[in-house]
Chain A
Amino acid sequence: MDDLYREVIIEHYKNPSYRGKLDPHDISFADNNPLCGDHIQIDLRVNADGVVTDARFDGHGCAISQASADLLLESIIGKSLEEVKKLNKDSVLELLGIDLGPVRLKCALLSLKVLKAGVYGLGEASDDLVE
């Protein structure tokens, strides 16, 4: 359990590299975690080949939700949207390097849910996106 607050998570929480907004952007999406009121918005820039060239997140929440957003965005820059669509729960857990119970999993996966809903151009983010 101590692992939950590994150095890397606290570091990404306290000093995120990808916090902010992108204006202009090609894709933008936001959602809440209704359980705890965490909120995340993600903006992406995508080039003509469908490759992510820049990404930012904004919002508020616990260390797990914010650190996973930062790590996730770091991991997708340079990737194609098709590759982003393939990301799942395990991709995020691998980035965080920890195991999570069902409640905190929701915190960790909020950014992926928002990211994929944006990439797919959906009206609403659903849990199915991160299964």
Chain B
Amino acid sequence: MLNIEQIRKDFPILERETSNGKRVIYLDSTATSQKPIQVIEAMNDYYRRSNANIHRGVHTLAEEATTLYEGARERIAKFINAASSREVIYTRNTTESINLVAYSWARTNLKAGDLVVLTEMEHHSNLVPWHMLQAERGIELEFIPVTENGLLDLTAYAALLTRSPKLVSFAHMSNVLGTINPAREIIRMAHEAGALALVDGAQSVPHLNVDVRELDADFYAFSAHKMCGPTGIGALYGKSSLLEAMPPFLGGGDMIKEVKLRSFRANSLPHKFEAGTPAIAEAIGFGAAVDYLKAIGMDNIAAHEHEITEYALERLEEIPGVKLFGPDANHKGGVAAFTLEGIHPHDVAQILDQDGIAVRAGHHCAQPLHEKFGIPATSRASFYLYSTKDEVDLLVNGLYKVKKMFG
């Protein structure tokens, strides 16, 4: 069990008030999580004590900065149980990680008519890179359907696999429905059909125990900012055999072994994919975030979120006019997307904000999924390790207030 009171003390922002004197009730961790003091301090310390550009420098600061930067990579690799830190490439975020695969791997390996299988519950970041490739290369796209209760239709998936796709790319956990997809099963089926599997782990790595080797994922993408880390840094995990064979993504300094006036030789992994001065402080913050989560324990975090989510779904269901989207608490993470009959999600979010309650309103970068359910937008409350049942109660009270206002 988590010591919530202790954990909340680690997050200074949870103590602040809004302009009208309300304590912030942060129910928007799916968009980005709050940051514990340990992460903030790690980045501050780096700027105060060790700031220097990494790799080629031989002076004390450069040595320290490089050690911190690479040390973080090693801990991130262990966190997802990668075989080696060479398999963890720093990117800006999940979106860039997916684009890296689309640019480097897919543009080398896919040709007109080749099939990529996605799902109907994808975030735009796992749709648009493939749309772009479709326009450029004439690849084909198919989508695993989402059932009425927010699960992937694996029978339909099996049927798509008979068409021998080259790649299956899917979200481990949906940022709208909260659905935790059976990643191991999806990957196993992909491999049996001869396809590679890319997993969008933006929502899973922050909330679940993720083991990329147990999953047998070929690529796995995630963002630091959703897991207590800073913005501006994320990671792409890739099996080294695949990464070795892929051409570089961006060209420039750091990603080279040797440059001649008319040619270059690419650096070895992981540097081959990291051109230019990277987000050094952010990488160090990412490492601190992983340490923080690990110390608390991902299984403890998942159990806490499950308890809060179960409670939230139960309480939200009581409210007349509330319609919840996605599966029951046993199949989902800490996300509750809903509509309130006759009231636009923007108005819901805005009125809740008057009480300091932060929820998100809109299509949450999953427009096709909303279209599928026939709604332009939803309100979404999401939970993390610092969320409490009290906060759920305040949300529910706030929703009654919204109803009264528009009643």
Q: Which residues of A contact B (CB under 8 A)?
A: 1-2, 4-5, 10, 14, 35-39, 60-65, 104, 107
How many residues of chain B get a CB closer than 8 Å to chain A's CBs? 19
Contact A62 B347 (CB under 8 A): yes
- 19 more contacts with CB within 8 A, not counting A10-B405, A104-B346, A104-B350, are A1-B19, A1-B353, A4-B350, A5-B350, A35-B362, A36-B361, A36-B363, A36-B376, A37-B362, A37-B370, A37-B376, A37-B377, A60-B376, A61-B344, A62-B345, A62-B347, A64-B350, A65-B346, A107-B346
A63 touches B344 (CB 8 A): yes
Nearest neighbor of A66 in chain B, beta-carbon distance: B344
Q: Does B351 contact A (CB under 8 A)?
A: yes
Inter-chain CB contacts under 8 Å: number: 50
For A65, the chain B residues whose CB sits under 8 A away are 346
Chain B residues with CB under 8 A of A37: 362-363, 367, 370, 376-377
* Chain B residues within an 8 Å CB radius of A36: 345-346, 361-363, 376-377
CA distance A104 to B376 in the complex (A): 17
Output the least CB separation between B354 and chain A (Å). 5
A-B contacts, 21 listed (Cβ < 8 Å): A1-B19, A1-B353, A1-B354, A2-B354, A4-B354, A5-B347, A10-B405, A14-B406, A36-B346, A36-B377, A37-B363, A37-B367, A37-B376, A37-B377, A61-B346, A62-B350, A63-B344, A63-B346, A63-B406, A64-B350, A104-B350
Q: Does B20 contact A (CB under 8 A)?
A: yes
Q: Could you tell me the distance between the alpha carbons of A1 and B351 in the complex, rounded to whole angstroms?
A: 9
Considering the chains assembled together, what is the distance between the CA atoms of A38 and B345 in angstroms? Answer: 11
A62 in contact with B346 given A1-B19, A1-B353 (CB within 8 Å)? yes
CB-defined contacts of B353 to chain A, threshold 8 Å:
1
Q: Which chain B residues border A35 with CB–CB below 8 Å? A: 362
- Using a CB–CB cutoff of 8 Å, the interface residues on chain B facing chain A are 19-20, 344-347, 350-351, 353-354, 361-363, 367, 370, 376-377, 405-406
Q: Which residues on B sit within 8 Å (CB–CB) of A10?
A: 405-406
Closest CB-CB distance, A34 to chain B, in whole Å? 9
Residue of B nearest to A4 (CB): B350
Which among A1, A2, A60, A63 is the interface contact of B347 at CB below 8 angstroms?
A63
Nearest CB of B to A20, in Å? 19
Q: Which residues of A contact B19 (CB under 8 A)?
A: 1
Closest 3 A/B residue pairs (Cβ)? A37-B376, A62-B346, A62-B344
Chain A residue at minimum C-beta to C-beta distance from B18: A1
Instruction: For the complex, give the distance between the alpha carbons of A99 and B363 in Å.
Output: 25
Max count, chain A CB within 10 A of own CB: residue among B344, B363, B377, B405: B344
Write the chain B residue with the least CB distance to A5.
Answer: B405
The distance from the CB of A69 to the nearest CB of chain B, in whole angstroms, is 13
Chain A residues, CB < 8 A from B361: 36
Contact residues in B for A104 (Cβ distance below 8 Å):
346, 350
- The reply to whether A38 and B376 form a contact with Cβ atoms under 8 Å apart is yes
Q: Bound state CA distance, A1 and B354, in angstroms?
A: 6
Please give, as numbers and ranges, the residues of chain A lying within 8 Å of B406 by CB-CB distance.
10, 14, 63
Expressed in whole angstroms, the minimum distance between the Cβ of A102 and any Cβ of chain B is 13
**Bound complex: CA A30 to CA B348 (Å):** 25
B363: A residues at CB distance < 8 A: 36-37
Note all chain B residues with C-beta closer than 8 A to A2.
354
- Residues in B whose Cβ lies below 8 Å from that of A62: 344-347, 350
Q: What distance in Å separates the Cβ of B380 from its nearest Cβ neighbour in chain A?
A: 13
B370: which A residues are within 8 A, CB to CB? 37
A68 to chain B, nearest CB (A): 13
Could you tell me the distance in whole angstroms from the C-beta of A104 to the nearest C-beta in chain B? 7
> How far is it, in angstroms, between the C-alpha of A63 and the C-alpha of B405 when the chains are bound?
12
B354: chain A residues at CB < 8 Å are 1-2, 4
